[in-house]
Amino acid sequence: MTAAQDMGQRGMDFLMEKGPGIIGAVITLVIGFWIIGRIVKMTEKVMVSRNMDASLIPFLKSLLNIILKAVLIISAAGMIGIETTSFIAILGAAGLAVGLALQGTLQNFAGGVLILMFKPYKVGDLVNTQGHLGVVKEIQIFVTILLTPENKTVIIPNGAISNGDITNFTVEGVIRVDMVMGISYDSDIKAARKALMEVMEAHPLVLKDPAPFVGVVELADSAVNLAVRPYEDPNNYWDVYFDIYESGKEALDKAGITIPFPQIDVHMEK
């Protein structure tokens, strides 16, 4: 038998042995890619129908597509006799090493996914989280960006936010401004309450329902402290806060109400 005949015979033997597996693998890949395409499209429709964040949908769709295709290719490789056990072990070890190296980053990524899925807040909401109060300017996959009342940009990792407390002042649509104004012990409490109520009732941004409120909250060392509680839209929080303090001071002055400052009375005995 010549060398050419020997090579031909070996080729035929290889085709007879591996041919069915190769054909099966090709068919599996073709059908598998089609099924994966359908699964990815259906998943995208479900995410859109559930109003999932638009910035998260492409990422999750791509991630699902890559994972399913990787599993399909490994399965097809096994059908034609390629040893996949070692390959899977190497991939697992590499994934573990990358996961340990990027532990903090992955935690922030997971936190970002949870925030975008469950929406504890959205862009434009006034929130207090991780010791920072501000309006949500942007929600990224790894961080959330807040704009504080001082016009400072605060960048907070999503992992810390998702594992901590979040106070959302916007979600209910109405927020109460808590202020305290002190008057002297000699002043008329009813007159002070009337003056402050008139200020809040006349303010265009203060809501009529729930109605504003003024009441004694503390008998302090140097003053009778009045709780001043107007309600308004969360977007108007700071406008109402500063306006009521300023207008309230003017109204108390006009009504002859004394606003005391801390003082100590010293009694001397002869």
Contact 261, 208 (CB under 8 A): no
Specify whether 164 is located in the same domain as 180.
no
Higher pLDDT among residues 18 and 78, named by residue:
78
Q: Which of the residue ranges 146-150, 156-160, 258-262 would you say has the lowest mean pLDDT? A: 258-262
Average the pLDDT over 196-210 and give the result. Answer: 94
Specify whether 31 is located in the same domain as 91.
yes
Cα diameter, the chain: 136
Average the pLDDT over 28-33 and give the result. Answer: 84
Other beta carbons within 10 Å of 119: 15
Specify whether 159 is located in the same domain as 232.
no
* pLDDT of 94: 62
Gap between the Cα atoms of 256 and 191, Å rounded: 9
* pLDDT of 64: 80
Higher pLDDT among residues 181 and 33, named by residue:
181
Q: Which of 137, 144, 138 is nearest to 159 (CA)?
A: 144
pLDDT at 250 over 70: yes
Average the pLDDT over 157-176 and give the result. Answer: 89
CATH of the domain at 161: 2.30.30.60
Higher pLDDT among residues 154 and 86, named by residue:
154
Condensed to tens digits (0 to 9), the pLDDT of residues 117-139 reads 788 898 889 999 999 999 999 88
Q: Which of 69, 59, 61, 70 is nearest to 41 (CA)?
A: 61
User: Alpha helices of the chain — where are they, by DSSP H?
Assistant: 3-49, 57-79, 85-101, 103-118, 158-162, 189-202, 237-254
Residue 268 lies in a domain: no
Residue 6 lies in a domain: no
Other beta carbons within 10 Å of 14: 11
CATH of the domain at 18: 1.10.287.1260
User: How many domains are there within the chain?
Assistant: 3
Q: Which of the residue ranges 4-8, 236-240, 262-266 would you say has the lowest mean pLDDT? A: 4-8
The C-alpha R_g of the chain, in whole angstroms, comes to: 34
Gap between the Cα atoms of 69 and 51, Å rounded: 26
Specify whether 85 is located in the same domain as 148.
no
* pLDDT of 68: 84
Specify whether 20 is located in the same domain as 96.
yes
Specify whether 155 is located in the same domain as 190.
no
Specify whether 131 is located in the same domain as 184.
no
pLDDT at 5 over 60: no
Q: Which domain holds residue 218?
A: 175-254
pLDDT at 92 over 90: no
Residue 96 lies in a domain: yes
Residue 109 lies in a domain: no
Q: Report the percent of the chain where pLDDT is more than 90.
A: 36
For 128, residues 6+ apart whose C-beta sits below 8 A from its C-beta are 166, 167, 169
Q: Which helix (H) or strand (E) holds 147?
A: strand 143-147
Residue 29 lies in a domain: yes
Q: Which of 78, 64, 74, 63 is nearest to 35 (CA)?
A: 64
Q: Report the percent of the chain where pLDDT is more than 70.
A: 79
Specify whether 90 is located in the same domain as 157.
no
